[in-house]
Amino acid sequence: MKLHYILCISALFFWTPKANSQSWWPQNSHTLSDLNEIFYATNSTGWSFGDSLDGIGGFASGYLTKSTNQGALWFQQDMGSPIYQILGSYFVNDQKGFGVGRNQLSGNGVIITTIDGGTTWSAGPAQPERLVDVYFADANTGWTVGRNDFVLRTSDGGTNWTDISASTGDHLNGVFFTTTTNGYVVGKAGIIISSVDAGTNWTNLSSGTNEDLNAVSFVNDSTGWVVGKAGVILFTNDWGINWNTQTSGTAEDLTDVTFVNDTTGWAVGTAGTVLKTTDAGVNWIPETSGTQEDIMSISMRNETLGWFCGNAGVIYVYGISPPNALDELSATVSMNLYPNPATDKIKVELSTAENWEVQLYDLTGNCVYREQIVNSKTTLISRKKWDAGIYLVRVIAESGISIQEKIIFN
């Protein structure tokens, strides 16, 4: 798993104009954490989950960021515990969603749930295996898969999960159900299994490859694609009875795949790989992603709008032009900090009164202070056991506006 974390306090990306054509545009995620997963529940609202590093390259904490304006600005959310490494997510709407992964201290699998758009998260019982992917066919019926054949199913919207583990003998990486009964799971060493009874019984399918398979996407019960290591792309249109190899044109590992209709889809992978097809995979055409970082996840809403995320805080949006830049959104609200430099207290004052959150970060990206403000313009932050130096004060307003400024403590 890719790991690195530091708060990004540089200015926003600047974009080079591209005349009237669909392109991938960089967004400011406000982090250099490696982002494992991105999911957009609507055309405006999405989340991305990632990992942060400690000083010697190990896992330090989980990271969660959300946007409500197509990624024009991203603001950090609290997933409930910093020890959760979230590897897969699914949102049934813009309020209710699930993240799956593992508890990095215990090694157990974890499922976290929100019913308020990510403002608060609750964790279910510890699971015996790490979880990697999750998919819902409707608001009530979902599945999650992970290491050592582990599969869980819920039929009550995630309140309870039942073990329906398969017998593949290996790790499972991706799950996709076309209905509440018909679905597919892929995994290590070419594993593909299918079910027509919601996972009560599983059928082993012959993929024709021994490469690890990472993700799966179907457009109807019988027609779908699978991607994996070394540029593998497989296609079926007969319920997985036969899998045909499609030419990807790359040897990079492919980490995710998505189709928005029966002809148009994308696959992403390591070293900034983005491939697109408009003919059901007969031809896969490389797109200029704008990054060389490994891309881990893609979420497309339609043929003209989508996002991918990856290492080092990479988030890109697909469109003719990027969403409104942060400076345009925040032009109506300003922030003052004083005194600056400060000794023991700082006053944070906004130009308008509203509900907002103030956060204080040190230069390693550690959030040392956080406070919720209700219908007020000001708050006072009293210095605790913080070393002298430069800090970043960040305000996230309920309206979605985010502002940040440096403060010096003597």
Q: What is the pLDDT of residue 122?
A: 96
- 98 part of a folded domain: yes
Q: Determine the structural domain holding residue 396 and report its residue range.
A: 333-409
Q: Are residues 309 and 338 in the same domain?
A: no
Q: Are residues 380 and 304 in the same domain?
A: no
Q: Are residues 199 and 255 in the same domain?
A: yes
Give pLDDT tens digits for 244-279.
Answer: 999 999 999 999 999 999 999 999 999 999 999 999
Q: Are residues 46 and 152 in the same domain?
A: yes
C-alpha distance from residue 181 to each of 137, 177, 242 (Å): 9, 7, 20
- 215 part of a folded domain: yes
- 7 part of a folded domain: no
- 285 part of a folded domain: yes
Q: What is the pLDDT along the chain (410 residues), one digit of tens a residue?
A: 333 333 333 333 333 334 457 899 999 887 888 999 999 999 999 999 999 866 666 778 899 999 988 998 788 888 988 899 999 999 999 999 999 999 999 999 999 999 999 989 999 999 999 999 999 999 999 999 999 999 999 999 999 999 999 888 899 999 999 999 999 999 999 999 999 999 999 999 999 999 999 999 999 999 999 999 999 999 999 999 999 999 999 999 999 999 999 999 999 999 999 999 999 999 999 999 999 999 999 999 999 999 999 999 999 999 987 775 444 444 457 789 999 999 999 999 988 887 788 888 887 667 888 887 888 889 999 998 899 999 989 887 766 566 778 899 99
- The number of domains in the chain is 2
Q: Are residues 224 and 101 in the same domain?
A: yes
- 219 part of a folded domain: yes
- 126 part of a folded domain: yes
Give pLDDT tens digits for 44-66.
Answer: 999 999 998 666 667 788 999 99
Q: Read off the CATH number of the domain in which 386 is found.
A: 2.60.40.3080
Q: Are residues 153 and 301 in the same domain?
A: yes
Q: Are residues 222 and 83 in the same domain?
A: yes
Q: What is the pLDDT of residue 352?
A: 80
Q: What is the pLDDT of residue 10?
A: 32
- Domain end marker among 319, 354, 372: 319
Q: How high does pLDDT run on average in the chain?
A: 89
Q: Read off the CATH number of the domain in which 233 is found.
A: 2.130.10.10
Residue 328 class from Cβ within 10 Å (0-12 exposed, 13-18 middle, 19+ buried)?
Answer: exposed
Q: Are residues 287 and 371 in the same domain?
A: no
CB of 35 within 8 A of CB of 24?
A: no
- Domain end marker among 291, 319, 347: 319
- 52 part of a folded domain: yes
CA torsion angle 154 159 163 169 (round to 10): 80
Nearest to 300 by CA among 284, 287, 316, 314: 316
- Domain end marker among 297, 319, 341: 319
Give pLDDT tens digits for 106-126.
Answer: 999 999 999 999 989 999 999
Q: Are residues 186 and 78 in the same domain?
A: yes
Q: Are residues 285 and 337 in the same domain?
A: no
Q: Are residues 308 and 388 in the same domain?
A: no
- 268 part of a folded domain: yes
Q: Are residues 234 and 339 in the same domain?
A: no
Q: Enter the tokens of residue 152.
A: 């869980």
